[in-house]
C-alpha cells in the first residue's frame, strides 16, 4: 500500500474517534495529541488502523512514532 492509502485509513479512524475534528487539520506533520486525541483515543486509532490493514506494528517500532508521518511510515514498514 502507498503512504497515501495508509494515511487515508488513518484519517478515517481519527475522524471516527474525534467526530468534531476539522479534517483539514489532519496533516502528516501533526501528532494525534495535537489534534485532541487522548491516550485511549490514540490507542483506538492505532488498533483500528492495524486491524483494518491487517498489519501488526511491534511496540518497539511504535516508540519512534511522534507524528502522523512516522505512524504511516511504521505501518508501511510492517505491511
Partner 1 sequence: MTPERVFITSAAVLCTVAEDLDAFRSALLEGRSGVADADGARLSFDLGDWAGRHLDEVTGRRLKQVAHRAALPAQTAACVALKTARRLGERAGLIVAGGQPLGHQADTVLRHRDKPGALRASYALTHLDVDVVGVVSELTGIRGEGWALGGGSAGGTLAVIQAARMITAGWLDQVLVVAPLAELSAAEFEAFRRTGAMISGDATCRPFDEERSGFVYGQAAAAIVLERESIARTPLAEIAGHGHCLDARRGTEPDSDGQVRAMRAALGQADPAEVDYVNAHGTGSVLGDETEARSIGTVFGASTPLVNSTKPLVGHCLSAAGLVELVATVVQLGANAVHPNPTLGRPIDGIRLAGRTAAHQSVRTALSNSFAFGGINASVLVRAA
Residues making contact with partner 1 (CB under 8 A): 17, 19-20, 40-41, 43-44, 47-48, 50-51, 56
Phi-psi region of 36 (alpha: psi -120 to 50; beta: other; left: phi over 0): left
* 28, three cell numbers: 502528516
**Closer CB to partner 1, 44 or 67, in the complex:** 44
Closer CB to partner 1, 19 or 60, in the complex:
19
Q: Give φ, ψ of 36 to 5 degrees.
A: 105, 10
**C-beta of 53 vs 72, nearer to partner 1:** 53
Amino acid at each position: 500500500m502507498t503512504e497515501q492509502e495508509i494515511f487515508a485509513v488513518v484519517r478515517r479512524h481519527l475522524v471516527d474517534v474525534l467526530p468534531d475534528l476539522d479534517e483539514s487539520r489532519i496533516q502528516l506533520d501533526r501528532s494525534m495529541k495535537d489534534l485532541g486525541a487522548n491516550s485511549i483515543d490514540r490507542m483506538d486509532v492505532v488498533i483500528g488502523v492495524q486491524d483494518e490493514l491487517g498489519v501488526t506494528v511491534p511496540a518497539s517500532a511504535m516508540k519512534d512514532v511522534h507524528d502522523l508521518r512516522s505512524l504511516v511510515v511504521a505501518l508501511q514498514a510492517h505491511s
